[in-house]
Structure 1
Amino acid sequence: MVSTVFNQEELCTVILEAYVELLIKSDQKRLIAHYVSFLPPHLQVQWYAHFLEGVKGQEERQVCLQLAEEDGLDVAAITKRVVENIRNRDAAVVDPNVSMAINVAISEDDRQKIEAIDWLVFDPSQRAEALKQANAVMRSFILVKKHNAAREVFDKLPADSINVVYKIWHAKTGSTSLPPADDNAVREYMCTKAYLDAMESYNDWFSLYHHSKPSKPSGAEVGSSFTDRVAFEHRLKQYDQDLERWQYKLVRQTQTTKDRVYNVLLFMDGGWMVDRYEDPDDEESRPQQLATLRRMHIPALCLNLHHMLHSSRLYSECLQLADSIASEHYQLYKEFNKDDLQQLLRQIRESSLCLLDQNKDPLGYDLV
């Protein structure tokens, strides 16, 4: 008798799942939540998340979530599953030791992953989960150098997200110390912000230095008329003014970029993309991804910073960068492979030679 009842329940579930699938295919949004609510809890999450993956538009999404709440569905678990389903599509494994031509354009799949974060920002109580899921999506983008896509994900999260996470946890427990998973999520979010700010600032400097320098006007030809000579002098004066403005902007941009890159390299409390706490419930791939990000981007940031400092003739600061990399406190050198380290040493050597040309020793000190 028990076996018969069990089989009947299974059969009812199968029939109900088939009907829910039919409702989804026929886009009967008003009915789906109601019939999903009769399924076992784990299937409720599975099927309603599957349905929500195809829902577009903010208003329509909010309506679907409201219908789910009215029928007693676990909205938090469902929206989390939606984001996980979308972000795990075509998840690529990145080998940091392999150089590849990477298409940094935002694809349609990327766009879906970016917009999936919207599911978790409707309800402030889900802000910690929103941070974790957004971090995961941003990690996947930064691993393949899709910085613009990562920035779009970052911008999906309200600016007060960290404060909201702390306030909700304090209201719930009375404590201001977040649990390990949430603390790690907040820290990774801050690490990501520091990195994106640094890269955007460096790109601005690169564009300003290499593509925006005013061009000096060609001289007036021998025997040119008085009018032509006056016009040339006017162009030359305008060039001098433009060059002065460019140099001023460049100095400011160089300082801003240097500060932002060092914010990454010397990130507080253990280093960039390094958790403060162990989380036994962490995703299996996350620690490996964080380590890969460090190996990929810390050497690249150091090389970019040196290029900027050397190009700006700040040779002594190039040597200071070398000190930071070699520091046992920060241990940045551990993230370099042999080729990156040799490239850096060649660049440092060039800076030292330039210091010698300025009558300074190879470490940047004045010769006595």
Structure 2
Amino acid sequence: MTSYGILIGLSLAVILSYLFNLASRATRVPSVLLLLLTGIGLRQWADYHDYSLQVPKTVLEIFGIIGLIMIVLEGALDLRLSRDKVPLIRRSFFAAALMLVAQAATIGGLLHLWLGASWQTCLLNAVPLVVISSAIAIPSVANLTGEKQEFIVYESTFSDILGIMLFNFVDQEDFYQGQGLLTFGRGVVLIILVAIASTVLLSFLLGRLREHVKFFLLFAFLILIYSLAKQLHLSSLLLVLAFGLAVNNADLLLGWLRLRTGWRSFTAEDLAPDLHQLKNITAESAFLIRTFFFLLFGYSITLASLISWQLVGQGLLIVAVLTGLRYLYLRYVARTDLLPELFIAPKGLITVLLFYSIPAQHVLGDVSENILFVVILLTSLLMMVGLIISHQQQTEAIEF
């Protein structure tokens, strides 16, 4: 394949992804699902023509990490903090936390009964299957309005952050010992301090840099801090959320700082001219990275490996358990609406990233990329159904 051939392919991928976004708004079919199926189709075409192209896991991980950062940042840049939002934030946090623990324990228990592996190994393999993917959830609820959209954005973001924290906790060598909780607690305190310091630094750079090229420099700093924190096994996604919230709510936070400390290094007015441009560039970057990640992940899956009733049955069982537990929580604990919240718990980018992060000694051969794909596919279809039903109900309410 020539250089121009590669450029043609990349350009067509971006154009196709944009068309999928337009189709998703009209049909409620998640654009991510269309990208995955396109990737599988490309793999079938390549196999038919005896064209061999292996996608290294490292490449998928790099796209996934950058995509996750951009998508969470994009979601955080759309959230406004206010006193009346505190109940919503609290409700979404507890929904993410309780669901994560309950679903991970249940799926881990099923794996333990099925395979007889250790609890630590089963929990490590269960966590990727239960974390809600903000990479899919946030773009998919763009047509929702008000509290429903904000709840899903907060819940999916909290699920990503808490899922990584739970994964790191279970992955500790002293997981079974009393020291494990102490080590985890120190990590939480440390990442909060890092998040505060990095947010101040990045906000200062955004407000003070006057060079024409500065947003990708800002992204480079953000990815650098994220990666360094990740090397220390910290839940570094928290600092991405903190930075996005701080920039979009600079008037509130800087006003509070001036009131408490008298600090006047820069003001919200310094950030205002760049905020709109930052949102646009972040959204464009998230779209681009998401496009190539899900195309490559779909390409890495062979259709022949998916044609298995046992595999489909395992995926259906996992999704049924996850949906049943979510129903019980929303219906009897949270006592909130079921539509579309019950159905919007997709798995995706974060699921793949955490799965690839499982240490070799804890890998279960029976829990493979194929099961991940089936779970991602089924949860995306459920989300599509929920969005279609919710849209129909909104249309009927407007007509009457």
The TM-score normalised by the length of structure 1 is: 0.24
> Of the two structures, which has the highest relative contact order with CA contacts closer than 8 Å and spacing of 6 or more?
2
Between structure 1 and structure 2, the one with the greater Rg is 1
TM-score (norm 2): 0.23
* Larger proportion of helix: 2
